[in-house]
Structure 1
């Protein structure tokens, strides 16, 4: 059963919104990767620090 959209512009607006979403992801992707790398570096430093504390070493 096929239904017709009430708006003839729905397909055009959907394509425009998808295009804007792709541009947004493309623009933000390097920043997201940078945040993940910084978070990974900080996490590994924290894990090393806590493992030294648990083992009884001096920081």
Structure 2
């Protein structure tokens, strides 16, 4: 690690404390499509048992 640089600290603090309010930032993206998921046949007890098994290995 290098020496502490007060100017760099101030620059980074100023950069992170400002908010960009330009109109370009307000554009939203449109997404089309579907999402599918399989809930499976597992219940909460089965999932906890599997988690414990994975954690112990």
Could you state the TM-score of these two structures normalised by the residue count of structure 2? 0.32
| Structure in which a larger fraction of residues adopt helix | 1
**Relative contact order (alpha carbons < 8 A, sep ≥ 6): 1 or 2 greater?**
1
